[in-house]
A and B are shown apart, each in its own frame.
Chain A
Amino acid sequence: MPPGRTEAGVTMTEVDSADRLLFLHDADVVPGPVGALAQLAEQLVVEVPRHPGFGTELDDAARDWDSVADLAQHYLSTMPAGQPTHLAGAGFGGWIALEMAVRAADRFASLILVAPYGVKLFGPTDREFADVLLLDPVEVVELGWADPAACHGLRMPGFPPGQDDEQIERAFLDREALCRYAWKPFMHDPRLRRWLHLVTIPTLVIAGERDRLVSPEHSRQLAGLLPSARYVELPGTGHYPYLESPDAFTAAVTSFLATRQKMGAEQ
Chain B
Amino acid sequence: MRCYHFTEMPYPYVPPDVEEAHRGLKYFMPNRYYDPVRGYQLYQRYLDEYELADELGYDLMVNEHHQSASTLHVSATLSAASVLARTRRGRVLVLGTPLPHRESPVRVAEEVAYLDAISAGRIICGFVRGVQGETWPSNQNPVHNMDMFVEAHDLIKEAWTNHDVFSWEGRFYHYRYVSIWPRPYQQPHPPIWVSGTTRALVEWTARHGYTLCNLLGTYADTAASFRLYRKAAMEAGLPEPGPDHFAYLSFCHVAPTEEQARQVGRKLMWYLKQGKLRLGAISPPGYSSPAAAVAALRGKLGEVRKYSFERLVDEGVMLVGTPDQVIARIQRLYAETGVGNLIMMNHAGEMTSNEVRDSLCLFAREVIPAVAPIGRHWQDDDTRWRVENDRRPVHTVLASALS
Using a CB–CB distance below 8 Å, which chain A residues touch chain B?
131, 133-136, 157-158, 165, 168-169, 172-173, 175-176, 178-180, 183-184
Instruction: Mark out the residues of chain B between 155 and 178 whose CB falls within 8 Å of any chain A CB in the assembled complex.
Output: none
Question: Does any Cβ of A come within 8 Å of B179's Cβ?
Answer: no
Q: Quick one: which of B132-156 are within 8 Å of A by CB? A: 136, 139-143
Contact between B281 and A176, CB atoms less than 8 A apart: no
Q: Which residues of B contact A136 (CB under 8 A)?
A: 278-280
Determine the residue in chain A with the shortest Cβ distance to B136. Answer: A134
Asked if B242 is at the interface (CB within 8 A of a chain A CB), the reply is no
- Do A169 and B291 touch (CB < 8 A)? yes
Max chain A Cβ within 10 angstroms of own Cβ: one of B279, B281, B290:
B290
- Chain B residues engaging chain A, CB cutoff 8 angstroms: 136, 139-143, 278-281, 284-286, 290-291, 293-294, 297
Contacts of B136 in A (CB 8 A): 134
Minimum CB–CB distance for B388 against chain A, Å: 38
CA distance A168 to B300 in the complex (A): 15
- Contact count A vs B, C-beta below 8 Å: 56
Contacts of A184 in B (CB 8 A): 139-141
Chain B's nearest CB lies how many Å from the CB of A139?
8
- Taken together as a complex, chains A and B put the C-alpha atoms of A36 and B293 apart, in Å, by 33
- Which of A165, A168, A175 contacts B285, CB < 8 Å? A175
Docked Cα-Cα span, A183 to B142, in Å, equals: 9
Residues in B whose Cβ lies below 8 Å from that of A133: 280, 284-285
Shortest CB-to-CB span from B284 to chain A, Å, is 7
Residue of A nearest to B278 (CB): A136
Contact of B141 among A157, A172, A183 (CB under 8 A): A183
Which residue of A has the minimal Cβ distance to B286? A176
9 closest residue pairs by CB, A with B? A175-B285, A169-B290, A176-B286, A134-B280, A183-B141, A172-B293, A176-B285, A179-B285, A179-B143
| Residue of B141, B279, B281, B294 with highest tally of chain A CB at under 10 A | B294
User: In the assembled complex, which residues on chain B have CB atoms less than 8 Å from the CB atom of A173?
Assistant: 290
Once the chains bind, are B278 and A178 in contact (CB under 8 Å)? no
Least CB separation from B139: chain A residue = A184
Decide if B143 touches A176 in the complex (CB within 8 Å).
yes
B143–A158 touching, CB < 8 Å: no
Contact of B294 among A168, A175, A180 (CB under 8 A): A168
B290 pairs with A172, CB closer than 8 A: yes
The reply to whether B297 and A158 form a contact with Cβ atoms under 8 Å apart is yes
Interfacial chain B residues near A165, Cβ < 8 Å: 291, 294
B285 to chain A, nearest CB (A): 4
Q: Determine the main DSSP class of B at the interface with A.
A: helix
| Chain A nearest CB, measured from B333 CB (Å) | 34
Q: Besides the contacts A158-B279, A168-B293, A172-B294, what 7 more A-B pairs have beta carbons closer than 8 Å?
A: A168-B297, A169-B293, A169-B294, A172-B293, A176-B285, A183-B139, A184-B141
B285 touches A135 (CB 8 A): no
B139: chain A residues within 8 A (beta carbon): 183-184
Query: Which residues on the A side are within 8 Å of B286 (C-beta)?
Result: 175-176, 179-180
Residues of A within 8 A of B142 (CB): 179, 183
A158: nearest residue on chain B (CB-CB)?
A: B297
Q: What are 28 of the A-B contact pairs (CB < 8 Å)?
A: A133-B280, A133-B285, A134-B136, A134-B281, A136-B279, A136-B280, A157-B279, A157-B293, A157-B297, A158-B297, A165-B294, A168-B290, A168-B293, A169-B294, A173-B290, A175-B285, A175-B286, A176-B143, A176-B285, A176-B286, A178-B285, A179-B141, A179-B142, A179-B143, A180-B141, A183-B139, A184-B139, A184-B140
B295 to chain A, nearest CB (A): 9
Assess the A180–B297 pair: CB atoms within 8 A: no
Question: Which of A134, A135, A136, A158 has the most chain B CB within a 10 Å cutoff?
Answer: A134
* A residues less than 8 Å from B143 (CB atoms): 176, 179-180, 183
Give the nearest-CB partner of A186 in chain B.
Answer: B139
| A172 pairs with B278, CB closer than 8 A | no
- A172 proximity list for chain B (CB < 8 A): 285, 290, 293-294
| Distance (whole angstroms) from the CB of A8 to the closest CB of chain B | 38
A180 proximity list for chain B (CB < 8 A)? 141, 143, 286
Provide the residues of chain B in CB contact with A175, threshold 8 Å: 285-286
A158 to B296: give the CA distance in the assembly, Å. Answer: 11
CB distance from B50 to the nearest CB of A (A): 35
Min Cβ gap A119→B in Å is 19
CA of A145 to CA of B285, assembled, Å: 23
| Chain B residues within 8 Å of A183, by CB | 139, 141-143
Distance from A170 Cβ to chain B, minimum over Cβ atoms (Å):
8
- Which residues does chain A contribute within 8 Å of B284, judged by CB atoms? 133, 179
Which of A175, A178, A180 is the most central at the interface, judged by chain B CB atoms within 10 Å of its CB?
A175
Query: In the complex, A169→B279 CA distance in Å?
Result: 14
CB distance from A178 to the nearest CB of B (A): 7
| Chain B contacts for A178, CB-based, 8 A | 285
Give the chain A neighbours of B285 by CB distance below 8 A.
Answer: 133, 172, 175-176, 178-179
Cα distance A135–B286 in the bound complex, in angstroms: 16
Q: Give B295's nearest chain A residue, CB to CB.
A: A165
Complexed CA–CA distance, A133 and B282 (Å): 12
